[in-house]
Structure 1
Amino acid sequence: MIELTVDAAGLARSRFVVSPLHEVASTLLPWGLRPGPDADPWVTRARRVLRRARLPLLSELALDGGGYVPDFLSPHPAGPSPTVEEELERVRSTPPERVLGELEALRDGRPCNGLDGAELPPEVRRAMGRGGRYVALRAAEELRRYWELAFAPHWTDAKAALDSEVDRCAGVLARHGADGMFNSLHPGIRWAAGALRVDSRFTVGIAAPLVIVVPSLVAGAPGVTVDPVRGGRRPPMVSYPVRDRPATPAPASAELARLLGPTRAGLLSALARPASTTQLAARHFLSTATVSYHLGVLHQAGLVARSRSGRTVLYRRTAAGTRLSAIR
């Protein structure tokens, strides 16, 4: 078990993050290598891409068993919802000494080439020979290609599901406090007496200045990422699998399309979970102005309602909209 002791000030600074590169790097871990039967289909497709595409550095860093994947591949995000380009730039700008230090940690983190950590994989060794700066640039380029091939087509829906989970946690926090919120994340994560306990095969106790919480659609179990560099100051990141994933909405029926028109019927059917105008526009390949117009019509008809979440306006189906969308 990993125990993170957090004082009141640290608890106040703790935050949630939706991180695209965290999802990418998670597919290099055992749960990404062998997705469970309930994993999103794009996770399985991502693993096929990694095997078939020419991504030699990432392929060697992927784990077939337990162990450690270098943290610079999924840097600690500065904000709550960084873009993939922002995170890739942070990978490129990783200090060379940190890159090499984290790769050296592989010797202790897992067996390499069957030699009990005596040697690093050949592609990793060759890249390290050209310096930490080269490794960072090479890793960022392979991550970008991996992202474009396997993740970008699915990220809009994936991010909407992760944002929805963060909104759920915010509601639990407001109603039941921090202990209720942490205890709602996963059965393997528990908060009690000022400590966050995460099930693990390792036994570690850490005094954490704060905790970064990362919901994931890829992770198969809770995990804790700690700074592998001795004396490092990065706060721990706790990741956990999102359990109550919204079901993929069924397409609009022909009858509903005849009644409302195909665009409005498609938007109403897509609102099985709350979404913004921008999210709906990306999913349906429409302009935001077109989506906004049709949502306005649905809102006037009482079929959708809207509410504000931060700076974003989210739309959801009303009870009448749900009944109407069930027409087949």
Structure 2
Amino acid sequence: MTFENCGEGGLIVIRINLGAHGLGGVRFAVSPLDPAKDLLFALGRTPNALSAQWRARTTKALSQERLGLLAVVAGGGPHGYAPDFLRPEPQGFQTSLDAALHQVATTPPERIRYELTGAISGHSWDPGSAHRPPRQLLQALEHGEDHFAQRLADELTQFWRAALAPSWPGIRAHLEADVTARASEIAHHGLADTLNHLAPNLEWRDAGLTVHLPPGSPHRLNLDADGAILVPSVFTDRAVFCAAEPPGAPAPRTPLIVYPAAPADCLPPSGEHQLIGATRLKMLTELSQPRSTSEIAQRLYLSPATVSYHLQILHRAGLVTRTRRSRHVLYQRLGTSPERGRDPA
């Protein structure tokens, strides 16, 4: 579960003991669904941290699409409760939107019951039990956990299309650039130094990661793990811990830490727009006519793997088309040919 703070008290200290084995399981990931969760949580907990444009767009999407349940569940609640199943564990570095939404919709019932028990009993939603859980949450749960998960997946789909889809290519480019920059930092300075610079409240020490959150909550956690997933975000300014797995948790997950992506002006300069860059601009120039990955690699003196990586980004951004001819996949700049069909594979 994602916990935030309000009020006085001691620091929330969440410790992930990794050791040498667990350190080998630390990885980065980017998912199109994560910014939606971060945006909704920020709107519910720290709306002033969002720009006026993002506040207006998020509020408009929730209102026009009538996404009341999503706003209640993902907004953090009075004491920062936000269930983790809305941020499914990414299976690889990049997860498609459809795959992530399917994970949400098919969340095991026992996992939903486990994550929402605090909300219903007041243990996590409001430790003082001064507030009842929102009626909309209780009414949705009356139809069962499967229906609850499917409804939230549907509302997430509507929210993503209304609020995030127009900006996703730029956000994705920013997040991918951040991970690329972190990889460079690891190569030059080592993993420990890189981890210590991800967020001001995230610390690598004594073979483990510690997330320090502001005072106000009794929650503390110390767990052993075989790895951790690090996810950059453009909607947070500090590290947020997700997937707290104390003993006995059903369908246990890998610990996941959301950290603030570096500002765009702090990322390595590309000389062009952050999505395009000098290398991709050269590729677009070459793609005035259909060419294969190997052809582009030969013409630009790059490795096929490098070319394939950049082509995938350009294709996902909608800047190039992809067609299959015989045994070859050919790429072409959008708008240079009437042949615009995408490879169905």
TM over 0.5: yes
Q: CA offset at residue 7 of structure 1? A: 1.3
Query: For residues 38 and 275 of structure 1, what CA distance do their matches in structure 2 show?
Result: 31
Checking the alignment, whether the CA contact within 8 Å between 1:101 and 1:229 is kept in structure 2 is no
Matching residue of 1:67:
80
Query: For residues 310 and 11 of structure 1, what CA distance do their matches in structure 2 show?
Result: 30
**CA 204–97 in structure 1, closer or farther in 2 if over 3 Å, else same:** closer
Q: Which amino acid aligns with 2:309?
A: T
Query: For residues 241 and 52 of structure 1, what CA distance do their matches in structure 2 show?
Result: 29
**CA 206–14 in structure 1, closer or farther in 2 if over 3 Å, else same:** same
Q: CA offset at residue 95 of structure 1? A: 0.9
1:116 aligns with 2:116: no
Q: 1:20 is paired with a residue of what secondary structure?
A: coil
Checking the alignment, whether the CA contact within 8 Å between 2:42 and 2:236 is kept in structure 1 is no
**CA 30–157 in structure 1, closer or farther in 2 if over 3 Å, else same:** closer
Structure 2 segments unaligned to the other structure (5+ residues): 1-12, 292-299, 314-345
Q: 1:4 is paired with a residue of what secondary structure?
A: strand
Matching residue of 1:16:
28
Matching residue of 2:236:
219
215, 218, 222: which is aligned to 1:205?
Answer: 222
52-61 vs 36-45, which deviates more? Answer: 36-45
Q: Which has the higher contact order (CA 8 A, sep 6+)?
A: 2
Q: CA offset at residue 158 of structure 1? A: 0.1
Query: For residues 117 and 247 of structure 2, what CA distance do their matches in structure 1 show?
Result: 12
Q: CA offset at residue 87 of structure 1? A: 0.2
Checking the alignment, whether the CA contact within 8 Å between 2:195 and 2:203 is kept in structure 1 is yes
Q: Count how many residue pairs are aligned between Structure 1 and Structure 2.
A: 279
Q: 2:40 is paired with a residue of what secondary structure?
A: coil
**CA 143–51 in structure 1, closer or farther in 2 if over 3 Å, else same:** same
Percent identical among aligned pairs is: 29
Checking the alignment, whether the CA contact within 8 Å between 1:39 and 1:218 is kept in structure 2 is no
Matching residue of 2:287:
292
After superposition, the C-alpha distances for 1:254-313 in whole angstroms (9 at most, x for unaligned) are xxxxxxxxxxxxx98535873885xx8xxxxxxx9778339x9xxxxxxx9978659413
Q: CA offset at residue 76 of structure 1? A: 0.8
Matching residue of 1:285:
none
Matching residue of 1:132:
145
Checking the alignment, whether the CA contact within 8 Å between 2:245 and 2:253 is kept in structure 1 is no
Query: For residues 71 and 26 of structure 1, what CA distance do their matches in structure 2 show?
Result: 12
Checking the alignment, whether the CA contact within 8 Å between 1:215 and 1:239 is kept in structure 2 is yes
Query: For residues 86 and 287 of structure 2, what CA distance do their matches in structure 1 show?
Result: 38
1:196 aligns with 2:220: no
Matching residue of 2:70:
58
Q: 1:224 is paired with a residue of what secondary structure?
A: strand
Query: For residues 81 and 121 of structure 1, what CA distance do their matches in structure 2 show?
Result: 34
Query: For residues 65 and 111 of structure 2, what CA distance do their matches in structure 1 show?
Result: 27
1:4 aligns with 2:16: yes
Query: For residues 32 and 162 of structure 2, what CA distance do their matches in structure 1 show?
Result: 14
237, 242, 251: which is aligned to 2:261?
Answer: 242
Structure 1 segments unaligned to the other structure (5+ residues): 248-266, 281-287, 297-303, 316-328
Matching residue of 2:295:
none
**CA 98–46 in structure 1, closer or farther in 2 if over 3 Å, else same:** same
Q: CA offset at residue 22 of structure 1? A: 1.7
1:89 aligns with 2:86: no
Q: Which amino acid aligns with 1:240?
A: Y
Query: For residues 223 and 32 of structure 1, what CA distance do their matches in structure 2 show?
Result: 15
Query: For residues 131 and 186 of structure 1, what CA distance do their matches in structure 2 show?
Result: 39
Q: 1:27 is paired with a residue of what secondary structure?
A: helix
TM-score (norm 2): 0.70
Matching residue of 1:185:
198
**CA 30–115 in structure 1, closer or farther in 2 if over 3 Å, else same:** farther
Which is richer in helix?
1
**CA 100–229 in structure 1, closer or farther in 2 if over 3 Å, else same:** farther
**CA 273–4 in structure 1, closer or farther in 2 if over 3 Å, else same:** farther
292, 295, 309: which is aligned to 1:312?
Answer: 309
Checking the alignment, whether the CA contact within 8 Å between 1:33 and 1:47 is kept in structure 2 is no
> Superposed, which structure 2 residues align to 1:229-308 within 5 Å?
231-232=248-249, 233-246=252-265, 269-270=272-273, 274=277, 292-293=287-288
25-34 vs 127-136, which deviates more? Answer: 25-34
Q: CA offset at residue 166 of structure 1? A: 0.5
Checking the alignment, whether the CA contact within 8 Å between 2:40 and 2:58 is kept in structure 1 is no
After superposition, the C-alpha distances for 1:206-225 in whole angstroms (9 at most, x for unaligned) are 22221110100112321111
Checking the alignment, whether the CA contact within 8 Å between 2:30 and 2:232 is kept in structure 1 is yes
Q: CA offset at residue 65 of structure 1? A: 4.2
